[in-house]
């Protein structure tokens, strides 16, 4: 169950409610976010919602049978809106594009990418300064200094940025220079990181589906951040690991459709990782839109062949332009339905 | 290598060519289809194409390094066109819709479905009379009598039909009453069946991807039918088995994009099996089109709740109408790109 | 439900029972095998077993809630014994080894293999004369003539043989020359073949788990053969398809343990296909025994490097000798527990 | 390439070697562990090993073509020995058993478990005080206070302990109270955690295979810790995620066999998570030994039904006793081969 507290609820009222919840053999967890004050009750016994609902200090009460609660559409029918300021908004009914290189490589690359994106009317740039790499000997990103440089140049240009955070200790350091945190596919179940992104920041967080994570696990990971105190969340389908070897991952567009039904959070598609082959990014990006994605994130680079990482799935600027144009037309069609 | 023989090649010329191929340590296989006369050479050694190309009786010669040969786009750039007669054509650049119930149930159901489809301008009806079922105790279809009845009614209405064949002995019996044979996901590697669909019929064959078949295996299965003597082939993506439990299968739209690059055969998408959930068939169908599918096959029934099989993934006629309309608009957009 | 009829039950008694079963909204299916006469009822409603059990002609009646019925351990606690004659028996509590080449190649190879196996006290030889191959251009086996030759040589030597059947039409032809039919991993859900192995032969059938078949699907496939009329069945775990690329398949020894709990049929392990790497066949074979397998089937060849197929996973005779010795010692240990 | 430096190598010698490596277009990484001083060179060009090998300060030089280097058996043929002190050693040729509850629950539970294990001659106890849980509302363990209590009781009893570490900040805190760190399946690619377990502790680390991690990824994760400075490493197979629903995971014993070939690190099997079903833990544990495992870790609890977590796969003490006895006998047999 989810109990929404009234603003200004008194402690004594809260205690009474918590006691009542415990009395029903439900485990209560208090959640306080930027937007609200909740009590999540987890348990299995049936109960009469009226036996609590009348109590003082309660704005609303909902029964949510899913394992995840706060991210479920069952209690919050209105979709979550992520407002990044300056008119940049991610929400159902809109369509946001995020593009940029796999790795931030230096000032020249940043400037060129910003110019490219601005010329296409894109306002969110992606890029990695902390790179999770299977091998300890591979390039691991420019780190915090790279982030500062990038953020400054982006800000000048009116561009928002999304970048991956890999561990708890990076959050405080990164926070002034980030518009959206990304949690990578290898960290989807790094629960301490998720906890801290709930407690330690007010910035939006986009959580990628795990390498072979289920849809329910992705929702539960989002529940960690929300219950930690941050409800500014996005989910991202980026392909799952299967036996098929012809593509890097298997883009699971079923998941986009199912997530749009199960949660009020925006759902983003990442076709670059989803198929991993440059010449097939476009059809998968367009397909993602028809499957219901609220946005697409993809990799672009002036010269993909020279990118520090992921070159094989990165578009050059001219391919990127074509894709952006077609995605917008595809979204317009979907909107007309 | 693939050698296309000239029409009217003499036996002595053929023998000379075969000997030359053997001399290169390539294993020759003669293939004679409705459309041409070929020699497929399998081997690994490099050779100079000119050392054969000049020989009498050769129309063209191609080096194809893929494991599959005749279905590869490497030798045949022009897409295969499947002409069913009466103006019904499946081909790249066009878009065909096939719809109908999982199982053929009886005359009333057939008539209603035909009327529904005709009202939407659909000219290919799907339906099963031989049903592969995991349990021996489940309904296994109306069999040949059901097929005859259905075919007659469809013919009257100018409707083509596609239906599953499960074993070699059914082919002769079914052949007069079938417009397209379907090979189901459990028979994708039933090599005797594939062989016989090459040798024993001239009708088109649509091969579904195996339950957990690779893209390459699907192409090799098509190679069986082609090399058996039948090049009227279609491939169908219908979702693969993964660990995800929220959907029946995982629709692999990457495969549609990759197949369109690798083969000259038309590629059809089956969103009904691909996601297995009625309320999500539409977004996945539309996504398939943007991924590049040349057609979509889906399940529809007057009253899905009462269908003999697959009701949970079957659209009713009104849902079906909406889907058809949106698919056509989506295809128009893709065509405009 | 499963009703075991008494021997000599009269038709009128049978009809009465069938009517009663229908009256309970259960669908009755009559099954007649070499060993018994059954009525399988499929349905979901609860009923009182006494309302049928007293009827004339009933030997016993069992409630089996699994999707598969006749192969379930729930009604038949005593394990099935497969008696091949001449003292060769496959059964729980015993341990049978089947070995031999992937493909039967000719008389010399057969003789050498028989001599090798006899020297080790092995009495069942494996080998393929019909080979399912992904590519139509690969070697597809010596066919029926190869089988006849092999059978003759084996019989002389007192050796039983197990070999794959690929399609219905082969059964009649093969039947005199086969001791155990094998259904391959690509045919586990070839339901017509399974049906016919139930109806058209009295010989034992070993069904391999599908390429990515579930444990329940394997049991349902066995149910096909049993309900067709043949209860002389064995199941075989041979590895499943996963994302792991370091091995050919992923040997699922969990399945051996689970199958031993769920069914009364003997369970055989195939470590050769299960790992697909010659130098690792031994540890996986020995592990299979500790997991509970009633037998092991593996590939051996005088000169694996020259085998027509599967050489990379085939043991030479000296490796084979060592494995056999160690398997027997491992089985002795397990038996002592 | 891996260069082992001589003890006491001078900086000027080191610099010369590094320069030579760079000259070969190899990227040098210095590694300093408890046991040695190395230079790892990553690159792809062929080179003549003699062009470096003669240089001053080099003890030995090895070419290792795998993506992972220091954990490969290609340069270090002698297996790694993990000595925990007081005669407790994990190593190839020996066999270690680690057992205990999923979660540490309190003093009484700890004492009872210790008594049980001691009575069986077990000297390593497992247990979790930080629990990774899919849901934020589930029990997450007793934390550092639980660890201190447990460690004290274990130390008194001469028992070593292994427990999971979930994030970097826990390492310093936990270090005095841990004998072996465990990295869980959800953190196998938490690269910051791996890095810090290399740099921030001298204690042994057991890394579990990822939920759907490949064998190569597991080795690369171990490479992180080793190259961070800690070569006291163990690997653990604990089952992978597949489509099969009858078991919690699919225990991949192929991986045990393959890992024993590829790396010099000890390999441990976890049958409790590998199958996830209490009544099948024993056969899978015994199978693991025959597959080549150097040790087994399993879950045991006085009353599994009342365990805070994982009760469905936990043995009670009497089942545990039987398993331990049979594992030892199985290991004795393997050793005799």
The Cα–Cα gap between B111 and D42 comes to 69
pLDDT band at D158 (very low <50, low <70, confident <90, very high): very high
> Each residue of A129-139: pLDDT tens digit?
999 999 999 99
Show Cβ contacts of residue C68 under 8 Å, excluding neighbours closer than 6 positions.
B135, C216, C219, C220, C222, C223
- Mean pLDDT computed over every residue of chain A: 97
Q: Which of A248, A270, A283, A330 to mutate to test the interface with B (most CBs of B within 10 A)?
A: A283
- Which chains form contacts with chain A, at 3 or more CB pairs under 8 Å? B, C, D
Cross-chain residue pair C287–D291, CB shorter than 8 Å: yes
Instruction: Say if CB C265 and CB C223 are below 8 A apart.
Output: no
In this complex, the residue of D136, D187, D220 whose CB is nearest that of residue A227 is D136
Q: Cβ contacts (< 8 Å) between A246 and chain B: which residues?
A: 214-216, 254-255, 258
Q: Chain C residues with CB inside 8 Å of D275's CB?
A: 254, 257
pLDDT in tens, A184-200: 999 999 999 999 999 99
Would you write out chain C's pLDDT as a tens digit for each of its 337 residues?
A: 999 999 999 999 999 999 999 999 999 999 999 999 999 999 988 888 888 999 999 999 999 989 999 999 999 989 999 999 999 999 999 999 999 999 999 999 999 999 999 999 999 999 999 999 999 999 999 999 999 999 999 999 999 999 999 999 999 999 999 999 999 999 999 999 999 999 999 999 999 999 999 999 999 999 999 999 999 999 999 999 999 999 999 999 999 999 999 999 999 999 999 999 999 999 999 999 999 999 999 999 999 999 999 999 999 999 999 999 999 999 999 999 9
For residue D137 the two structure tokens come to: 């509302």
D84 φ, ψ to 5°?
-95, 5
Q: Are D257 and C275 in contact (CB under 8 A)?
A: yes
In Å, the largest CA–CA distance within chain C is 65
ipTM value greater than 0.90: yes
Interface probe, candidates C38, C39, C136, chain B, greatest B C-beta count within 10 A:
C136
Range name among B123-132, C82-91, C275-284, D49-58 with the lowest pLDDT average: D49-58
Of B77, B58, B73, B66, nearest to B18 by C-alpha is B58
Question: Concatenated DSSP letters for B34-72?
Answer: SS-EEEEEE--S---THHHHTSTTEEEEE---SS--TTB
In the three-class reduction of DSSP (H, G, I as helix; E, B as strand; rest coil), residue D192 is classed as helix
Integer Cα distance of C71 and C215 in angstroms: 12
Q: What residues of A are in contact with residue D29 (Cβ under 8 Å)?
A: 136-137
Tally DSSP H helices, then E strands, for chain B.
11, 14
pLDDT at position A44 is: 87
- pLDDT for A223: 98
pLDDT score, position C43: 92
pLDDT confidence band for D38 (50 / 70 / 90): very high
Q: What angle is formed at CA B7 by the lines to CA B5 and CA B8, rounded to 5 degrees?
A: 110
Asked if residue B257 lies in contact with residue B292, where contact means CB atoms within 8 angstroms, the answer is yes
Residue ranges of the alpha helices (H) in C64-186?
Answer: 107-119, 143-156, 168-174
Q: What residues does B3 pair with on adjacent strands?
A: B39, B61
Secondary structure class of A94 (helix, strand, coil): coil
pLDDT at C204: 98
- The predicted structure's pLDDT at residue D45: 87
Q: Considering only A38-42, B63-67, D181-185, D193-197, which range has the smallest mean pLDDT?
A: B63-67
All residues of chain C having their beta carbon less than 8 Å from the beta carbon of residue A241 are: 243
**b/e map A206-243, b = 16+ CB within 10 Å:** bbbbbbbbbbbbbbbbbbbbbbbbbbbbbbbbbbbbbb
CA–CA separation, C276 and C248 (whole Å): 5
The residues of B whose Cβ lies within 8 A of any Cβ of A are 212, 214-216, 239-240, 242-247, 250-258, 261, 274-275, 277, 279-280, 283-284, 286-292, 326, 329-330, 333-334, 336-337
Please write the tens of the pLDDT for every residue from B197-237: 999 999 999 999 999 999 999 999 999 999 999 999 999 99
How far is C250 from C258, CA to CA, in rounded Å?
A: 16
Find out whether B301 and B101 touch, Cβ atoms under 8 Å. yes
Answer yes or no: is pLDDT of D44 > 90. Answer: no
State the best of D25, D39, D131, D136 to mutate against chain A, taking most chain A CBs within 10 Å: D136
The pLDDT of residue A46: 87
Partner-chain contact D136 A220, CB within 8 Å: yes
Here the tokens at position A249 are 């991952």
| B67-116 pLDDT tens trace | 999 999 999 989 999 999 999 999 999 999 999 999 999 999 999 999 99
Q: Which two tokens stand for residue D85?
A: 């002190």
At D255-290, the pLDDT tens digits run: 999 999 999 999 999 999 999 999 999 999 999 999
Q: What is the mean pLDDT of residues B31-38?
A: 96
Question: Which of A212, A241, A243 lies nearest to residue C241, judging by beta carbons?
Answer: A243
Q: What is the pLDDT of residue A127?
A: 98
pLDDT at B45: 87
**Closest-CA residue to A267 (of A235, A219, A221):** A235
Backbone φ and ψ for B29, nearest 5 degrees, come out as -130, 120
CB-nearest partner of B214 from A244, A254, A258: A244
Domain D81-335: which CATH number of 3.40.630.30, 3.20.20.70, 3.40.50.1820, 1.10.10.10: 3.20.20.70
Instruction: Encode pLDDT of A95-110 as tens digits.
Output: 999 999 999 999 999 9
Enclosing H/E stretch for A83: strand A82-83
Sheet of strand A2-5, all strands in order from the earlier edge strand to the far edge:
A27-32, A37-42, A2-5, A58-62
- Interchain pair C212, A245: CB under 8 A: no
Residues of A with CB under 8 A from a CB of B: 212, 214-216, 239-240, 242-247, 250-258, 261, 274-275, 277, 279-280, 283-284, 286-292, 326, 329-330, 333-334, 336-337
Q: What is the model's pTM?
A: 0.97
Please say if the pLDDT value at position B46 is more than 90. no
Q: How far does B103 lie from chain D, in Å, by closest CA?
A: 27
CA distance, residue B181 to nearest chain D CA (Å): 30
Which residue matches tokens 């057992």? D99
Q: Give the angle B176-B177-B183 at the CA atoms, nearest 5°.
A: 105
In tens, the pLDDT along D291-319 reads: 999 999 999 999 999 999 999 999 999 99
State the average pLDDT for chain B: 97
d(CA A262, CA D183): 32
Nearest by CB to B227, from C67, C136, C191: name it.
Answer: C136
pLDDT of res. A213? 97
Greater confidence (A321 vs B46) lies with A321
Identify the CA nearest to B256 among candidates C130, A286, A58, D118: A286
Both tokens assigned to D292: 């080549």
pLDDT at residue C304, as a whole number? 96
| Pairwise CA distance, residues A135 & C231, whole Å | 53
Give the CB-side neighbour count of residue D132, counting CA atoms within 13 A. Answer: 23
CA angle (B209 as vertex; B204, B215 as ends), nearest 5: 110
Cβ count near B234 (within 10 Å): 26
Q: Which residue of A has its CA nearest to D214?
A: A241
D319 Rama class: left (phi>0) / alpha (psi -120 to 50) / beta: alpha
Return d(Cα A288, Cα A297) in angstroms, integer. 11
Q: What percent of chain A has pLDDT over 90?
A: 96
| Closest CA–CA distance from residue D24 to any residue of chain C (Å) | 30
| Burial classification of residue D46, based on how many CB atoms lie within 10 Å of its CB (0-12 exposed, 13-18 middle, 19 or more buried) | exposed
How far apart, in whole angstroms, are the C-alpha atoms of residue D132 and residue D145?
Answer: 17
Mean pLDDT of the region A150-161: 98
For chain C, the structural domain boundaries read 2-62, 81-335
Give all chains having 3 or more CB-to-CB distances under 8 Å with chain D. Answer: A, B, C
* Alpha helix positions (H), B82-214: 107-119, 143-156, 168-174, 191-199
Residue of C nearest to D259 (CA): C246
Q: In this complex, which chains have at least 3 CB pairs below 8 Å with chain C? A: A, B, D
Give chain B's end-to-end CA distance (angstroms, integer): 35
Query: Does D135 sit within 8 Å of A220, measured CB to CB?
Result: yes
- What does the mean pLDDT of chain D come to? 97
The CB density around residue A143, as the number of other CB atoms within 10 Å, is 14
Mean pLDDT, rounded, for D172-194: 97
């Amino acid at each position: 169950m989810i109990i929404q507290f009234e603003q200004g609820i008194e402690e004594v009222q809260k205690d009474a409610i918590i006691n009542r919840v415990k009395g029903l053999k439900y485990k209560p967890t208090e959640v306080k976010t930027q937007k609200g004050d909740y009590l999540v009750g987890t348990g299995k016994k049936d109960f009469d919602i009226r036996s609590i609902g009348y109590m003082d200090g309660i704005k609303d009460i909902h029964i949510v049978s899913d394992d995840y609660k706060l991210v479920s559409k069952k209690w919050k029918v209105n979709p979550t809106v992520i407002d990044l300021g300056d008119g940049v908004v991610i929400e159902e009914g809109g369509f946001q594009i995020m593009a940029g290189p796999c790795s931030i490589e230096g000032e020249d690359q940043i400037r060129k990418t910003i110019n490219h994106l601005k010329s296409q009317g894109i306002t969110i740039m992606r890029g990695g300064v902390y790179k999770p790499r299977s091998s300890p000997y591979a390039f691991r990103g420019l780190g915090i200094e790279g982030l500062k440089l990038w953020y400054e140049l982006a800000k000048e240009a009116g561009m928002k940025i999304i970048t991956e955070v890999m561990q708890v200790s990076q959050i405080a350091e990164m926070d002034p220079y980030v518009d959206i945190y990304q949690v990578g596919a290898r960290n989807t179940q790094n629960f301490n990181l998720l906890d801290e992104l709930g407690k330690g920041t007010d910035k939006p967080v986009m959580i990628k589906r795990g390498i072979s994570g289920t849809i329910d696990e992705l929702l539960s990971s989002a529940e960690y951040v929300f219950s930690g105190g941050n409800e500014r969340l996005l989910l991202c389908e980026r392909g799952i690991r299967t036996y098929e070897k012809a593509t890097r991952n298997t883009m699971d567009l079923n998941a986009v459709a199912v997530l749009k039904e199960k949660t009020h959070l925006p759902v983003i598609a990442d076709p670059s990782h989803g198929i991993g082959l440059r010449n097939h990014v476009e059809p998968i990006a367009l397909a993602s839109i028809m499957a219901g994605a609220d946005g697409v994130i993809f990799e672009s680079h002036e010269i993909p062949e020279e990118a520090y990482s992921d070159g094989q799935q990165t578009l050059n600027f001219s391919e990127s332009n074509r894709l952006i144009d077609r995605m917008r037309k595809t979204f317009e069609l979907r909107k007309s339905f």
